[in-house]
Chain A
Amino acid sequence: MSNEFEQFQDAFFEEAAEHLAIVEEGLLQLERHPEDLDLLNKIFRSAHSIKGASGMFGFDAVAQFTHKMETLLDLLRSGKKSVTPGLTDLLLKSTDCLKTLLDGVKLNAPVDDNVVQRLSTELAAVSAGEGERASASSPTAVAEPPASSGGAYDIRWTPPEWLFRRGLDPLQIFKELARIGRLGRVNVDTSRLPDLNNMNPETCYLSWTMRLETAASPKEVESVFEFVREDGELSIEAVAVPDSAPTVSGADVQREAKSATLEISEGGPKSIGEILVESGAVSKEALERALSQQKRVGEILIEQKAATPQQIEQALQTQRQMEAAAQAKKADTASIRVDTAKIDKLINLVGELVITQSMLSDLGTRFEMGQVHVLLERIAQLERNTREIQERVMSIRMVPIGTAFSRFPRLVRDLAAKLGKKIQLVLSGEETELDKTVIEAIGDPLTHLVRNAADHGLEMPEERLDNNKPETGVIKLNAFHESGNICITVEDDGRGLNRDKILAKAVKQGLVADGAALSDDQIHALIMKPGFSTAEQVSDLSGRGVGMDVVKRNIEALGGTVSIKTVLGKGTTFTLKLPLTLAIIEGMTIRVGRETYIVPMLSILESIQPKPEAVKTIVGNGELIDVRGIYLPVIRLYEVFNVQPEYEDPAKAILLVVETEGERVAVMVDEILGQQQVVIKSMEQNFRKVQGIAGATILGDGTVGFILDVRGLLEIARQEAAAADAA
């Protein structure tokens, strides 16, 4: 029906998601402020917008369901019903249901009709009584004109006096009538026209009688008067006409109407059945009968015993999955909404860049050595332009983290109800911007942390009171920028981590040796060890082990780090440190022989120049270095990449201590060159995956520099140790 509108579907889904978030957030706030009318209006408007637009795309299930929500919301905002926890709960559940309905049309995801049905009934039930008002009031009843015999109509029309004041014009009506038929005699009645002194030029004093000869139905004729018929006086009477006008039989009109609907409903080329029906050769009923006898491929195969029903069912399921996957893939090519101000600024900057470039080429055509200072000035300007453009382009991909935070009020509310705890969620820094991909990727780890904080971090209300803490526990989510990174903290004021219990458990799990001297930080890091999580729960230990290793892995995959701060009995803070974007990293450039490599800054802990005796070779562990009492494996980068180094003696070279996934390793290099931002170019896309290398970049002098993959290097160290052992 609305093919031309299809291109707006993506925009609609994006908008609907925003409205859903507004509705959900609003309902959660409404629980605390049931009297807030502005809030109710806002929620209502969002629901209303979803309803209106979904109807435009023919998503009727969505539109109908939203209409039911809207009806209830309307009763609430008009004060005909008051906000109760039961109602907000129902509306929240309905919001979830609406979400699945929207996903249903967007991704072809399965929708549980029972849930939809149950909620629809419930919504209708609570809105009943007062609800009738919303649906029952039909427009001022107009006597349905007698059924048409086709031919002609006598029309008498006295428009309302204020016709002109609503931007209407009788002339429009006559033109419209003339379009659908032939206007015969038109008589104007001027009897109500006052004399000039008393006449108000904005008032309509006229009325008309006319005859319209047309094949149009009475409904069509009436629709010409659509905007005025409820107010003035209008009568439309069908009259028999002598054979002057071409008469069309009712049956013909009907057939025309039928074929018209067929044409509209079908987008692609017509099937033979449709064409036959249209031409009148076959009735629609006959066609349907014939079609119902046609068998599907699956049925035929089963009949011929070529396949079992199970096989067919399985194949059908695979087909459905493939369709869903294809849909999901399509939906995955997401768009991003960018503030026009950002684009305008960018265009301005490009303009400046072009000016600088033309100034430079102008200088180049007639350059003399005396102008070197001018040249340097221009180059500095070019640099400034480039940096600014880079920043602006990056900012296009930046979205506020609030979108990732928005799911938590609901999550915490539901968790609190389920766990029987009192929890207050405090969000701050929602406006902090970061890369859209990063935002999408941190959703799950964050959810995990918040869930853990609610589940294991916070105590039950009684326990809190016993410990002289307020009954309501607090979970704080905060985001902020810090030296080119973004930090997200998840903080609770619960019981904190118990280092002794963690240590005891880790020893039992064989993760650390009995009696090992570990710092607090190292002990807390244990809960993120893969082995720690799969173990059975120790009930009085905060039990944060569940899936923490997954959180850490996800964050590290984004080039970030996770750190823990905890005070026993006071609470725990998890800090996620993430790069602003995945496309550019802050790197340390290092040199080995004549090659330059880049090490991601985030993974570097320190650099040292060891004493000769600090480096030892231990059987089974390869080469190790003693860093203040802790032994770290040493990786000689020149060996890994097979280049000629300047130094082969660790005491002369420099060792970079890098960390990933809680493991540390010392990487031996010749020299540290400096720190710079580098743009990551993928190895896989341009060459192939190389172990130990995360990607490549183009250096200032135009050569290619490799970005080291610290995790891959650790892997290499392990393999070498094993190989050395075997030898």
Chain B
Amino acid sequence: MGKTALVVDDSPTMRQMVAFTLMNAGFTVIEAEHGKDAVKKIAGKKMDIVVTDLNMPEMDGIALIKELRKSADFKYTPILMLTTESAVEKKMAGKEAGATGWIVKPFNPDVLLKTIAKVLPT
């Protein structure tokens, strides 16, 4: 069984770029547009890693991380947030909510995969 990843971003371009990179690396990917969509799509599922944007409509990344950490299935799942250089406050809030780490935009596929490798349980 390959690894599974949840990719959450309201920007289809960003989402596809991340999802595409992960799929090429052998992940099975579930894509979601925002927190609410993600919660709906992963109901009853376990994932190996979550990559989420922070600024999103409906339910933003911070709320999603909090929500995931509440569920037994996602208590210890690594969650990476996509942030920008300037959004330091957001990053802190994300960490407080339980995010494992972050990837600073812009990034290239290599950085994305290396960062994931850093936190992915073996």
Contacts and interface: CB of A to CB of B under 8 A. Distances in A.
A45 B58 CA distance: 12
B95 A166 contact: yes
Interface string B10-37: 1111101100110000000000000000
A49 B84 CA distance: 11
A476 interface: no
B55 interface: yes
A48 B122 CA distance: 34
A172 B80 CA distance: 15
B55 A5 contact: no
A411 B119 CA distance: 51
B121 interface: yes
Q: Is the interface of A mostly helix, strand, loop or mixed?
A: helix
A8 B16 contact: yes
Contact of B98 (A166, A176, A227): A166
A135 B86 contact: yes
A368 interface: no
Contacts of B11: 15, 49, 52-53
Contact of A52 (B20, B105, B109): B105
A166 B84 contact: no
A289 B99 CA distance: 50
B27 to A, nearest CB: 15
Contacts of A231: 95
A336 B14 CA distance: 18
Contacts, number: 102
A383 to B, nearest CB: 38
A44 B98 contact: no
Interface centre among B79, B86, B88, B106 (most CB of A within 10 A): B106
Interface string B57-96: 1000000000001000001111100101010110100010
Interface in A170-228: 172, 175-176, 224, 226-227
A51 B107 CA distance: 13
A713 to B, nearest CB: 48
A164 B21 CA distance: 27
Contacts of B57: 41-42, 45
Contact of A55 (B10, B99, B106, B122): B106
B55 A167 contact: no
Contacts of A44: 55
Interface residues on A, range: 35 or more
Contact of B69 (A135, A165, A227): A165
A166 B95 CA distance: 8
B5 to A, nearest CB: 14
A56 B16 contact: no
A138 interface: yes
Contacts of B89: 137
B100 A168 contact: yes
A121 to B, nearest CB: 19
Contacts of B99: 166
A86 interface: no
Contact of A11 (B13, B109, B119): B13
Interface in A506-536: none
Contacts of B55: 44-45, 48-49
A164 B98 CA distance: 10
B105 A56 contact: yes
B100 A12 contact: no
Nearest to B57: A45
Given A4-B21, A15-B13, A167 B77 contact: yes
Given A5-B17, A45-B55, A52-B84, A227 B122 contact: no
A55 B12 CA distance: 15
B36 to A, nearest CB: 15
A476 B57 CA distance: 31
B112 to A, nearest CB: 10
B101 A11 contact: no
Contacts of A45: 10, 55-57
A169 interface: yes
B106 to A, nearest CB: 4
Contacts of B105: 52, 55-56
A12 B56 contact: no
Contacts of B108: 1-2, 4-5
Contact of B12 (A11, A164, A167, A226): A11
A58 interface: yes
B17 A166 contact: no
Contacts of A5: 17, 108-109
B17 A56 contact: yes
B13 A169 contact: no
Nearest to A45: B55
A139 interface: yes
A134 interface: yes
A52 B100 contact: no
Nearest to B16: A8
A56 B84 CA distance: 11
A67 interface: yes
Contacts of B20: 8
Contacts of B88: 137-139
A56 B106 contact: yes
Interface string A294-338: 000000000000000000000000000000000000000000000
Contact of B119 (A51, A56, A67, A167): A167
A52 B78 contact: no
Contacts of B119: 167-168, 172, 227
A114 to B, nearest CB: 26
Contacts of B106: 2, 52, 55-58, 63
A44 B87 CA distance: 13
Contact of A165 (B13, B53, B98, B101): B98
Interface of B: 10-14, 16-17, 20-21, 53, 55-57, 69, 75-79, 82, 84, 86, 88-89, 91, 95, 98-102, 105-109, 118-122
18 contacts: A2-B106, A8-B13, A45-B55, A45-B57, A51-B84, A52-B82, A55-B105, A56-B106, A67-B86, A135-B86, A165-B69, A165-B98, A166-B95, A167-B77, A168-B100, A168-B119, A227-B102, A231-B95
Interface of A: 1-2, 4-5, 8, 11-12, 15, 41-42, 44-45, 48-49, 51-53, 55-58, 63, 67, 71, 134-135, 137-139, 164-169, 172, 175-176, 224, 226-227, 231
Given A167-B79, A172-B118, 9 more contacts: A45-B55, A49-B10, A49-B11, A52-B53, A52-B84, A56-B14, A138-B88, A226-B118, A231-B95
9 closest pairs, A vs B, by CB?
A55-B106, A227-B101, A167-B100, A49-B11, A167-B78, A12-B13, A56-B106, A2-B108, A137-B88
